[in-house]
Amino acid sequence: MESKGSTIRLGIFILIGSILFLVAVFLLGNKQSLFSSTFEVKAYFSTIEGLRKGALVRLSGIEVGNVNDLRIMKDSLATVEVTLRLVADIKPFLKEDTRASIETEGLVGNKVIVLHVGSNASKQIESGGTIQADDPLNFGALVNEAKGTLEYTKDMAKNLAEIVAKVNEGSGSIGKLVNNDDLYNNTNRLIITADRSLGSISYKLDTLANVVNTLGADVQSVVRNVDHSIKGIDDLIKNVQDGQGVLGKLLSEKSPLDSSLASVFTNLIKITEETKLGTERFSENMEALKYNWLFKSYFEQRGMYDKPGYEQKLDKFLEDINTRIKILDDRIKRLNSIMNDKKLGSVN
């Protein structure tokens, strides 16, 4: 009877052991993807920071495989080749721009591979292909860098404390300025004097601004006078050519007063030449003014001396004046031409 009970207990023990063995095999096989269709890809890291063979591989938080092999490459950089065994179901999600990174899992510190899905436009990775890898953070280096920063901060705080102490004691220039009433009063008087000087300079610069505005008005006046002279000459030339007016009729009728007419034309041409000469001199003065240090300093301090400002304004003045000079020169040539055509003599 006792033998029969022992046999039953032994059978139950064997049954339970077999069940536990099968469960362990199933779990281990499932972890290693032994019972599902798989494929392999590779990733290359300069360091793996404690990653072990058999470590989990995750995609979007889901376990999709494991690290199948770790191997140091025979190159000068000692690159680590990591072979990943992945379930076939995720193959459509792995693209050429998919990236693999080594991350720490929870508080325990186990290392896992995390896959970051690429773009839909990229081509799919084939079995045995290579995934781009991002090297893991080196926490040791980060800690050392943080320690260095803390040491630097401590030194800086110490130096700052020493400076404050010296200021409070009245040591150094700043300390004397803070604690010495005479030095403070002298500095204050110096600042007041400087402020008055700046006010005087500002007033002079404002006066200079009025000069510039007056100059603009003078330029406009010169341009108007030259335009008036040009119009008078043009009217005279038109009357002569059309035989209109007193001078035009005298020339068209071949009056015996040719010598007097020649004198009139000579004087007219001289007046025109003098007008041109005066305008040219005014233009030269304007050109010299553009490079005068006083005017440049004024506009530089106002942030205007950058071609669109002060110089551009003077360039516009010069352009207007030079245009009138060219017109006057043309009218002188036309008056000389009329004298030659009418045989009134020439003007030197």
97 and 26 in a common domain: no
Q: Are residue 48 and residue 26 in the same domain, yes or no?
A: no
Residue type, 35: F
- What is the pTM (predicted TM-score) of this model? 0.37
Task: Read off the tokens for 276.
Answer: 């041109």
Give a yes or no: residue 26 inside a domain: yes
What pLDDT is stored for residue 126 in this prediction? 87
In the prediction, which pLDDT does 308 show? 41
- Enclosing domain of residue 50: 36-137
What pLDDT, in 10s, does the model give residues 17-67? 878 877 766 666 555 555 568 899 999 998 888 889 989 999 988 899 999
Q: Are residues 212 and 246 in the same domain?
A: yes
Rounded (5°) CA angle 275-278-281? 150
* The pLDDT of residue 348: 44
Whole-angstrom CA distances from 320 to 191, 304, 333, 340 are 47, 22, 21, 31
Give per-residue pLDDT as tens, 93-144. Answer: 888 899 999 988 876 678 899 999 888 888 888 888 899 998 887 666 666 6
For residues 207 and 129, membership in a common domain is answered with no
Q: Is residue 208 part of a domain?
A: yes
What is the predicted pLDDT for the residue at 114? 93
Identify the domain boundary among 137, 165, 182.
Answer: 137
Query: What is the residue whose two structure tokens read 């290359």?
Result: 44
How far is Cα 157 from Cα 35, in angstroms, rounded to an integer? Answer: 63
Question: For 161-178, b where at least 16 C-beta lie within 10 A, e where not — what string?
Answer: eeeeeebeeeeeeebeee
pLDDT given for residue 257 in this prediction = 44
| Distances from the Cα of 233 to the Cα of 87, 226, 263, 265, angstroms | 100, 11, 16, 11
* Same domain flag for 263 and 309: yes
Q: Which helix (H) or strand (E) holds 116?
A: strand 110-116
Q: H helices of the chain, where? A: 2-31, 139-169, 172-179, 181-242, 245-252, 258-290, 293-301, 310-341
The per-residue pLDDT for 243 is 58
Same domain (yes/no): 23, 52: no
* Segments of the chain scoring below 50 in pLDDT: 256-257, 293, 302-308, 346-348
Of 125, 107, 102, the C-alpha closest to 56 is 102
Same domain, 9 and 49: no
Same domain, 245 and 312: yes
Does 23 lie in the same domain as 52?
no
| pLDDT reported for residue 67 | 93
Q: Is residue 335 part of a domain?
A: yes
In a domain, 245, yes or no: yes
Please give the tally of structural domains in the chain. 3
